[in-house]
Chain A
Amino acid sequence: MTFDVIRMLWIRQLKRYVRSRARIVGSLGQPLLFLVALGFGFGPVFRRAGQGNYIQFLAPGVICMTILFTAIFSGIELIWDRQFGFLKETLVAPVSRLTIMVGRTLGGATVALIQGLIVSVACLLVGFRPGLAAIPIAFVVMALVALMFTALGTAIASVMEDFQGFQLVMNFVVMPTFFLSGALFPLTNVPRALQVIASVDPLSYGVDGLRSMLTGVSHFGVGTDFAVLAALTAAFLLSGSYLFSRIQL
């Protein structure tokens, strides 16, 4: 029966996603803008600096950015659900909090993954040419990134009272996570301080893992990428579950 509940909560998130076409289109605008404006804008400079094709470099970063934003958002949606919606219904049901958290997180992560796949197709359309051999493993990296940040979003939402802290989270968690991750620039020759910061940014390992799977270029090494992603995903899921279980209405 626990499995049935997880499945139903998962389906719920997917239905909500499919039904909100405005949200789908809206949330694809930003990554596409990054891809086109930065990709073609910085392309010539990047090439002249001897780094090759910028679209090729940027695409995995933009895919990860899409997953990051969607995942954090689905986690944070919990705040709305918590006070004015459906969460109360689930919290008085004879089901453990862990079951509810797992269902929600899997649903949110699946939505983030789908958005990531849509942007991947868009990347192909503007000229991204990935190696095909490692695509299944690239998919695993994307799934890990989606799970990790949905769990993080849930953890943050569990301790936030209302939306007043939302801007704070955007500006001091989500944006830095994206901009300092090496999604937009190679980490090899940047100042030491930036390198250190990037190395404690969870997204760096997602971007690097995906980039090495799709284009064969890696900064940290694939083994490190996977180890860090798996460990952090587990850690965020655990802390998210713990904080979620402590929610009082």
Chain B
Amino acid sequence: MADESIIQVDKLLKRYGDLVAVDGISFTVRSGEIFAFLGPNGAGKTTTIKMLTTLLKPTSGSIAIDGLDPTRDSIGVRRRFGIVFQDPSLDNELTALENLELHASLYAIPRAKRHDRIEQLLRLFELWERRDSLVKEFSGGMKRRLEIARGLLHTPKILFLDEPTLGLDPQTRNQLWTVVGKLNEQERVTVFLTTHYMDEAERVAKRIAIIDRGRIVAEGSAEALKEQTSTTTLEDAFLALTGTTIREEAAGSMDRMRSMARMWGRR
């Protein structure tokens, strides 16, 4: 089993001054599985993803992505994953096709293969007809689909999805998870996701880890978590494990920018 693990995290810790955002967590994600990382706001989900994806240096502890250390071989690690961020990261002034072409260039996909792979993914996500439209004309759901298509363009081994369905309608969410499930089967891509929708996690994830105040409080299949807490739904299990108090997050510059973005309607 050990050689099948694709993400290995050991005693990972991130400290910002006095605040411990991630408090010595350890977990393993096996190759080819869909792994959900759940937790209340401010639990340390996004901080963990940032460390796994080379965007943030851990204070201590170790990470191995397909055997590589993100702090030492960041370029090697970056080749191995695709990511869909919590906030959109498409260029709105470019067309869908141009966004993907730029991504292909950044990931050094050989020119001969670029076009076929782009067409394959755009068709899969039902965006091929709209390939020459500017992204700013897309709906929220279309943008998300395009971002996931982009994250998969360079055939990564791991796909990180940080709250990919935030603000989408049930139809789009359904379609999105169907396609992600299909890709997980077809291309054997490992999926690491975070979400606030418990039904989604239960539906797609083989294994779930629940993180609260920087620590993993439970880990296992949805069934196992329900059994462990003697509850009938994952949502109840989640509340039993993390409590019912609402978490206060200090509004950082990120939140200010987010509200500004909403005001200016540039999402």
Contacts and interface: CB of A to CB of B under 8 A. Distances in A.
B53 interface: yes
B143 to A, nearest CB: 12
A8 to B, nearest CB: 4
Interface stretch (A90-98, A134-142, A195-203, A227-235): A90-98
A249 B89 CA distance: 13
Contact of A248 (B56, B89, B260): B56
Contacts of A249: 50, 55-56
B78 A4 contact: no
B106 interface: yes
Interface residues of A, number: 30
Contacts of A85: 88-92
B151 to A, nearest CB: 9
Nearest to B254: A83
Interface string A1-16: 1001100110010011
Given A91-B55, A249-B56, A84 B107 contact: no
Interface residues of B, number: 38
A96 B88 CA distance: 22
Q: Give the one of B56, B106, B254 with max A CB within 10 A.
A: B106
B55 A20 contact: no
B138 interface: no
Interface in B213-261: 253-254, 256-258, 260-261
Contacts of A94: 75-76, 78-79, 106-108
A95 B54 CA distance: 12
Given A84-B261, A249-B56, A8 B105 contact: yes
B199 interface: no
A92 B54 contact: yes
Interface stretch (B24-32, B96-104, B166-174): B96-104
A84 B78 contact: no
Interface of B: 50, 53-56, 75-76, 78-79, 81, 83, 85, 87-94, 98, 101-103, 105-108, 134, 150, 253-254, 256-258, 260-261, 266
29 contacts: A8-B101, A8-B105, A12-B91, A12-B94, A12-B98, A15-B94, A16-B93, A19-B93, A83-B257, A84-B258, A84-B261, A85-B90, A86-B90, A87-B89, A88-B85, A88-B89, A89-B90, A89-B103, A90-B106, A92-B78, A94-B76, A94-B78, A94-B79, A94-B106, A96-B75, A161-B253, A162-B256, A163-B257, A249-B50
